[in-house]
């Protein structure tokens, strides 16, 4: 056996998981084969065995499925996968019904399939480390816990109590696991695991799983229990509301839970195997695994970070501008222990910005999620000021003032001299080219874009923009700063709108263009929801402010004019400009845009009634699939163009940026995975049709097609 070490010593059979040339243990094909062999050996040695210990030679217990192997599966592989899952579960079942006590020694995290391996044990001992994570994150990857996870967790916790851990992938640490009854004993360190296991084996010479006991009853009751039945009646509808029918895993997981609870244990295992086999070979699982596992790990491991630069830990960071963005950045920094100087034109405005942190922390204190002492410590890290001199010694200063080039230049030149030796400067602009803003800097090589998203305290993504003169050290330090905030950095090269704002603009302006074509606003908005975007394009425009879009348009026209060029606005941009300048509808913050916003508390917004007479064309024909495709394909085409032009340099930055920055549907795996999942030929064919019907925004040049092919990932 290559991945499992088997020993039998003094009546204790020990199966130690140790996959070679891997930092973690996985359910790779070799491990599955070794498990069969190890189980056969246990059966041969049965009479000599007094107990079984499951252990790991890695720093973690077990990481779960072999996801690279999963990426290579095709739909036709589902029957084979079903057989493999069943064989593996047969081994699990053999070990736990042998009549010998089995103990899982959890020296570190056990997630997904790893937690299912841990559940083989009748008794589970874990090191009391709050950083250790247990649980079943499969649904977040488009899968379900199909290697006994659903069946066992449901039988251990009950149908209702198990749902957060199965349907929502809620994780838990060892102490929480102890409270849930999922772990039975905590020890101080790895050295104490085996002795605890041997003690329990000695005290429990024969052991069974709870569900194998004659008097077993499902905690909370069966699906036929009136209270459970009532909740289960509405559960599918609630799930459908959340998934919109685009994410099959949560629905499959719920079905496996309920169906499995109505039958015997072994039949329940086959039910979950069938659901998993169907999902694991499907497109949504592959899309989500590609992005939320492989792409996310590429970013976390620093593949987008320039190599060879020492790690940077922010100590004191200045923020220029205490508006919504600046206040949000200040809170994010202070909550991570970073001393923060929040500067505005007056102390009153700076104090107002700090008050945002007071509001957020008070909410946490009220919910007992933060102690008053920790709240005071966090707030003490934020120094509001109107004096540039208070920025002295900052290792980083970020300007977060209004999107106006002259203003940004002024505050840059005022604050930059206060930087500590070796410090760097950043702009939080969302659209203005960094190379142009860096002209105001005395050290453009130490000037970088750090584009936060609003609201900063909730949005995980941060876009780092390398200007024409920004050096590797500055990009690397910006990357480290973002990670220090617990956020997700992507790195892009400079251009107008960078990646996220540029691509987001195509989505909202395509929606506006369709309104101008006479398509009803409600149809456009519903199409956006149906294809998986968080909200429709017109609602997003209202939230971000139509007036801001017009300001960006005016700035773009002015910039083109300085270069002796004329900017040709798109139909969507012209419609938004008319909304603001002609119809005085600047967006939600200013009273209304495409929607009306009632003043009454709790009242829902509604589409502005005047959209119908102003823009709708009676009898205008439209195709719902075309509308949905226009909204998604337009973003994917623009992403591919960014990759071709070098604005983006990696597919993982593209996918993660599109999902976390602009809300591209997660079931697609992101804007580039959207292309790769359907196949390049299929995507190009459909884009060509859309280009012929709806314009050059969907056109793919030969260079863009070549770039798509060149960056296609392989597994």
Convert the pLDDT of each residue in 681-699 to its tens digit.
999 999 999 999 999 999 9
How confident is the model over 423-449, as a mean pLDDT?
95
310 assigned to some structural domain: no
612 assigned to some structural domain: yes
The number of distinct structural domains making up the chain is: 3
pLDDT per position as a tens digit, 42-83: 999 999 999 999 999 999 999 988 898 899 999 999 999 999
* Statement to judge: residues 472 and 533 lie in one domain: no
SS3 call for 84: helix
660 assigned to some structural domain: no
* Statement to judge: residues 334 and 482 lie in one domain: yes
Q: Phi-psi region for residue 129, left (φ > 0), alpha (ψ -120 to 50) or beta?
A: beta
pLDDT per position as a tens digit, 347-398: 999 999 999 999 999 999 999 999 999 999 999 999 999 999 999 999 999 9
Residue whose token pair is 């015997």: 264
* Statement to judge: residues 450 and 533 lie in one domain: no
199 assigned to some structural domain: yes
* Statement to judge: residues 528 and 491 lie in one domain: no
Provide, rounded to the nearest whole percent, the portion of the chain with pLDDT above 70. Answer: 100
Band (143; pLDDT cuts 50, 70, 90): very high
User: Residue 24 above 90 pLDDT?
Assistant: yes
CATH number of the domain to which 119 belongs: 3.90.226.10
Q: Phi-psi region for residue 195, left (φ > 0), alpha (ψ -120 to 50) or beta?
A: alpha
Among residues 647, 655, 651, 643, the alpha carbon closest in space to that of 700 is found at 643
CB 527 within 8 A of CB 632: no
Taken in order 331, 334, 340, 341, the sign of the CA dihedral is positive
pTM: 0.92
Q: Name the DSSP letter for residue 171.
A: -
The reported pLDDT for the residue numbered 601 is: 83
Among residues 488, 169, 138, 77, the alpha carbon closest in space to that of 289 is found at 138
Which residues, including other chains, have CB under 8 Å from residue 55's CB and lie 6 or more apart?
A: 14, 15, 16, 17, 105, 107, 193, 194
Dmax (CA) of the chain: 89
Question: Domain end: 495, 526, 541, which one?
Answer: 495
How, if at all, do strands 51-56 and 64-65 pair? unpaired
Mean pLDDT rounded to a whole number for the chain = 96
How confident is the model over 133-156, as a mean pLDDT?
97
Question: Domain end: 495, 516, 536, which one?
Answer: 495
The reported pLDDT for the residue numbered 430 is: 86
Tokens representing 603 are 């009242």
302 assigned to some structural domain: no
CATH number of the domain to which 456 belongs: 3.40.50.720
**CA–CA distance, 82 with 116 (Å, rounded to integer):** 17
CB 73 within 8 A of CB 99: no
pLDDT per position as a tens digit, 160-184: 999 999 999 999 999 999 999 999 9
**CA–CA distance, 36 with 38 (Å, rounded to integer):** 6
* Statement to judge: residues 139 and 263 lie in one domain: yes
CATH number of the domain to which 587 belongs: 1.10.1040.50
Question: Domain end: 232, 262, 281, which one?
Answer: 281
The secondary structure element, H or E, covering residue 194 is helix 193-203
* Statement to judge: residues 474 and 510 lie in one domain: no
User: Residue 277 above 90 pLDDT?
Assistant: yes
Other C-beta atoms closer than 10 Å to the C-beta of 472 total: 14
The reported pLDDT for the residue numbered 660 is: 97
* Statement to judge: residues 142 and 241 lie in one domain: yes
Residues facing residue 382 across a β-bridge: 340
Rg of the chain over Cα atoms, rounded to whole angstroms, equals: 28
pLDDT per position as a tens digit, 598-619: 988 888 999 999 999 999 998 8
Q: Phi-psi region for residue 148, left (φ > 0), alpha (ψ -120 to 50) or beta?
A: left
255 assigned to some structural domain: yes
74 assigned to some structural domain: yes
Distances (CA, A) of 528 to 308, 538, 569, 656: 43, 9, 23, 20
Opening angle at CA 203, ends 198 and 205, nearest 5: 90
Distances (CA, A) of 220 to 67, 227, 250: 35, 9, 21
Distances (CA, A) of 55 to 25, 62, 110, 243: 11, 9, 11, 38
Other C-beta atoms closer than 10 Å to the C-beta of 487 total: 18
The secondary structure element, H or E, covering residue 543 is helix 537-544
| Domain span at 427 | 316-495
* Statement to judge: residues 226 and 320 lie in one domain: no
How confident is the model over 85-92, as a mean pLDDT?
97
534 assigned to some structural domain: yes
* Statement to judge: residues 150 and 80 lie in one domain: yes
**CA–CA distance, 161 with 88 (Å, rounded to integer):** 27
How confident is the model over 262-269, as a mean pLDDT?
97
* Statement to judge: residues 465 and 535 lie in one domain: no
HSE-up of residue 141 (Cα within 13 Å, Cβ side): 28
Residue whose token pair is 């020694």: 105
Residues facing residue 461 across a β-bridge: 488
How confident is the model over 136-147, as a mean pLDDT?
96
User: Prior bond to 153 cis, omega within 30?
Assistant: no
* Statement to judge: residues 601 and 576 lie in one domain: yes
Strands, E assignment, 120-228: 123-127, 134-135, 185-187
pLDDT per position as a tens digit, 546-599: 998 999 899 889 989 989 999 999 999 999 999 999 999 999 988 899 999 998
* Statement to judge: residues 509 and 486 lie in one domain: no
pLDDT per position as a tens digit, 229-260: 988 888 888 888 889 999 999 999 999 999 99
The reported pLDDT for the residue numbered 140 is: 95
The reported pLDDT for the residue numbered 13 is: 98
- What is the separation of C-alpha 444 from the centre of its chain, rounded to a whole number of angstroms? 33
User: Residue 346 above 90 pLDDT?
Assistant: yes
The reported pLDDT for the residue numbered 255 is: 96
The reported pLDDT for the residue numbered 603 is: 87
Which residues, including other chains, have CB under 8 Å from residue 476's CB and lie 6 or more apart?
A: 305, 306, 309, 312
């Amino acid at each position: 056996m290559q991945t499992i070490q088997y020993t039998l010593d003094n009546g204790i059979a020990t199966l130690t998981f140790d996959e070679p040339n891997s930092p973690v243990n996985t359910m790779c094909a070799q491990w599955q084969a070794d498990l069969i062999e190890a189980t056969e050996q246990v059966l041969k040695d049965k009479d000599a065995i007094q107990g079984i210990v499951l252990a790991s030679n890695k720093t973690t217990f077990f990481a779960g499925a072999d996801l690279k192997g999963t990426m290579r599966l095709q739909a036709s592989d589902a029957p084979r996968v079903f057989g493999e899952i069943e064989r593996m579960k047969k081994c699990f079942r053999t070990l736990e019904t042998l009549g010998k006590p089995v103990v899982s020694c959890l020296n570190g995290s056990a997630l997904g399939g790893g937690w299912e391996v841990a559940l083989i044990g009748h008794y589970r001992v874990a090191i009391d480390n709050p950083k250790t994570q247990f649980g079943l994150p499969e649904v977040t990857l488009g899968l379900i816990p199909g290697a006994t996870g659903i069946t066992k967790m449901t039988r251990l916790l009950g149908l209702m109590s198990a749902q957060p851990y199965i349907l929502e992938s809620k994780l838990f640490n060892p102490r929480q696991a102890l409270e849930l009854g999922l772990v039975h004993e905590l020890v101080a360190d790895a050295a104490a695991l085996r002795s605890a296991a041997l003690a329990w084996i000695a005290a429990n010479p024969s052991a069974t799983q709870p569900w194998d006991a004659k008097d077993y009853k499902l905690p909370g009751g069966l699906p036929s229990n009136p209270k459970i039945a009532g909740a289960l009646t509405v559960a599918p509808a609630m799930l459908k509301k959340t998934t919109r029918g685009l994410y099959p895993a949560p629905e499959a997981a719920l079905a496996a839970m309920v169906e499995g609870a109505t039958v015997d244990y072994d039949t329940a295992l086959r039910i979950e195997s069938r659901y998993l086999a169907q999902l694991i070979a499907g497109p949504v699982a592959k899309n989500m695994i590609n992005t939320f596992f492989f792409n996310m790990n590429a970013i976390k491991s620093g593949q987008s970070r320039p190599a060879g630069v020492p790690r940077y830990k922010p100590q004191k960071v200045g923020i220029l501008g205490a508006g919504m963005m600046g206040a949000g950045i200040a809170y994010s920094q202070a909550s991570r222990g970073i001393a923060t100087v929040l500067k505005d034109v007056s102390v009153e405005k700076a104090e107002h910005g700090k008050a945002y942190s007071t509001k957020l922390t008070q909410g946490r204190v009220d919910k007992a999620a933060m102690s008053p002492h920790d709240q005071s410590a966090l707030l003490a890290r934020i120094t509001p000021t109107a004096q540039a001199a208070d920025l002295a010694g900052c290792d980083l200063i970020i300007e977060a003032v209004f999107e106006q080039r002259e203003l940004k230049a002024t505050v840059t030149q005022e604050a930059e001299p206060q930087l500590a030796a070796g410090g760097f400067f950043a702009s939080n602009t969302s659209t203005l080219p960094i190379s142009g803003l860096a002209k105001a800097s005395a050290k453009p090589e130490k000037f970088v874009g750090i584009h936060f998203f609003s609201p900063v305290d909730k949005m995980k993504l941060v876009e780092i923009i390398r200007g024409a003169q920004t050096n590797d050290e500055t990009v690397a330090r910006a990357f480290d700063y973002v990670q220090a905030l617990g956020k997700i950095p992507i790195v892009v090269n400079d251009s107008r709108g960078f990646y996220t704002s540029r691509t987001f603009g195509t989505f909202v302006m395509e929606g506006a263009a369709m309104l101008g074509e006479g398509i009803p606003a409600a149809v456009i908005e519903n199409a956006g929801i149906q294809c998986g975007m968080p909200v429709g394009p017109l609602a997003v425009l209202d939230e971000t402010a139509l007036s801001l879009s017009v300001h960006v348009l005016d700035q773009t026209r002015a910039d083109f004019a300085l270069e002796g060029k004329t900017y040709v606005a798109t139909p969507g941009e012209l419609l938004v400009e008319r909304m603001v300048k002609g119809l005085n509808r600047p967006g939600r913050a200013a009273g209304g845009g495409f929607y009306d916003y009632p003043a009454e508390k709790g009242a829902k917004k509604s589409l502005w009634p005047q959209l119908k007479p102003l823009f709708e064309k009676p009898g205008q024909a439209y195709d719902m699939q075309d509308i949905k495709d226009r909204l998604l394909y337009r973003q994917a085409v623009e992403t591919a163009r960014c990759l071709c032009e070098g604005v983006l340099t990696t597919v993982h930055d593209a996918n993660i940026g599109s999902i976390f920055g602009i809300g591209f549907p997660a079931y697609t795996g992101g804007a580039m995975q959207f292309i790769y999942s359907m196949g390049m030929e299929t995507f190009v064919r459909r884009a060509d049709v859309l280009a012929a019907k709806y314009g050059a925004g969907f056109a793919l040049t030969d260079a863009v097609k070549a770039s798509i092919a060149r960056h296609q990932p392989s597994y």
